[in-house]
């Protein structure tokens, strides 16, 4: 089975000239989705970690399923104002303006080894901000995990974690 | 194991006077999260369905894990402008203003039997809108599924699907 067979191109989304990689056909096929999560799990063999930091929103889908399969804690990183308890925040630059991400202050500490999961690595700005959030909490990032890497955007060069796991390169 | 032991009260969120039910401790405990997903699966025994409609964002977490466990397709409902292909949209009233939800037009058809999954039933406005979205696609809703029901908000009375599965009543 090829995971790339379940990722389709949508032209001109979110704006003219961009070809968007749509992972919803992968979600719509239970065998392909399970294969994807099992592949991620198998590539994580030998890496010791106890928590999975999942990035809102599509990272929630893959990270939670991986958490269930691997019996690891699931720690959500959300957009500003969504998490109810005390948070650590980080702001980062987007193409236009800035965005803010938050994590619960009591969800991680210096004893935790975490992997960060998102569906897709693009420019790397979001994951780089999440790596910083995890470090602010005192925990250690032991791997960044993606289903897709848009290699032409060179997101890998922005990541500070040396271990990157990914299933499909475009 | 009691799932309610892993749901905590956060006072004055999102605004003064509201007590927010925070499900993140449930995510942070792998045994409790697995127990929760297995409980949902066991309550769905005997109900025939092929797809799980998951509501952004916290519904993604529970619905995707349930999809992995039960080998069902995962169909995301997202906020306006997030899904890249052709969508069906629905707008619905909030306390102040309106919100819009979307589903991919090609993700469901009249042969599909679906369950709708969200973390928490409050006033029922969002799930009611998602039920309508599914019906607009031609598919049938066979169950609405929640981890938590805030029963004092009487959300159940808004739902058109007769089968409602939930694990914890507050």
pTM of this structure: 0.98
Task: Please answer yes or no on whether A71 and B31 come within 8 Å at the CB atom.
Answer: yes
Going through A56-128 in order, the beta strands assigned E by DSSP cover: 73-79, 87-93, 98-104, 113-121
- Between CA B2 and CA B16 the distance in angstroms is 29
- Over residues B111-159, the pLDDT tens digits come to 999 999 999 999 999 999 999 999 999 999 999 999 999 999 999 999 9
pLDDT band, very low/low/confident/very high, at A96 (cuts 50, 70, 90): confident
Q: How big is the CA angle at B14 (ends B11 and B17), to the nearest 5 degrees? A: 50
Task: Please answer yes or no on whether A74 and B27 come within 8 Å at the CB atom.
Answer: yes
CB contact, 8 Å: A76 with chain B?
yes
The dihedral formed by the CA atoms of A54, B92, A15 and B106, expressed in degrees to the nearest 10: 80
- Over residues A105-144, the pLDDT tens digits come to 999 999 999 999 999 999 999 999 999 999 999 999 999 9
3-class SS of residue A133: helix
Element (H or E) spanning B134, and its range? helix B125-136
Q: State residue A10's pLDDT score.
A: 98
Element (H or E) spanning A159, and its range? none
First to last CA, chain A: 17
Answer yes or no: A45 catalytic: no
Q: State residue B95's pLDDT score.
A: 77
User: Do the Cβ atoms of B39 and B148 come closer than 8 Å?
Assistant: no
* Shortest distance, CA B51 to any CA of chain A (angstroms): 8
Q: What CATH number should be reported for the domain whose range is B48-169?
A: 3.40.50.2020
Task: Please answer yes or no on whether B68 and A68 come within 8 Å at the CB atom.
Answer: yes
* Domain ranges across chain A: 48-169
Mean of the pLDDT values across residues B35-63? 98
Nearest-Cα residue of chain B relative to residue A80 = B14
Average model confidence (pLDDT) across chain A: 97
């Amino acid at each position: 089975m090829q995971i790339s067979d379940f990722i389709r191109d949508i032209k001109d989304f979110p704006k003219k000239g961009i070809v968007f990689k749509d992972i919803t056909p992968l979600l719509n096929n239970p065998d392909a989705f399970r294969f994807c999560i099992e592949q991620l799990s198998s590539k994580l063999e030998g890496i010791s970690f106890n928590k999975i930091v999942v990035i809102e929103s599509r990272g929630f889908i893959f990270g939670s399923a991986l958490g269930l399969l691997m019996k690891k804690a699931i720690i959500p990183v959300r957009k500003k104002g969504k998490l109810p308890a005390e948070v650590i925040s980080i702001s980062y630059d987007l193409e236009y303006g800035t965005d803010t991400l938050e994590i619960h202050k009591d969800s991680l500490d210096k004893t935790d080894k975490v992997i960060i999961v998102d569906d897709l690595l693009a420019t790397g700005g979001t994951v780089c901000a999440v790596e910083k959030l995890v470090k602010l909490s005192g925990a250690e990032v032991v791997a960044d995990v993606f289903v897709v890497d848009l290699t032409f955007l060179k997101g890998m060069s922005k990541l500070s974690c040396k271990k990157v796991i990914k299933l499909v390169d475009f």
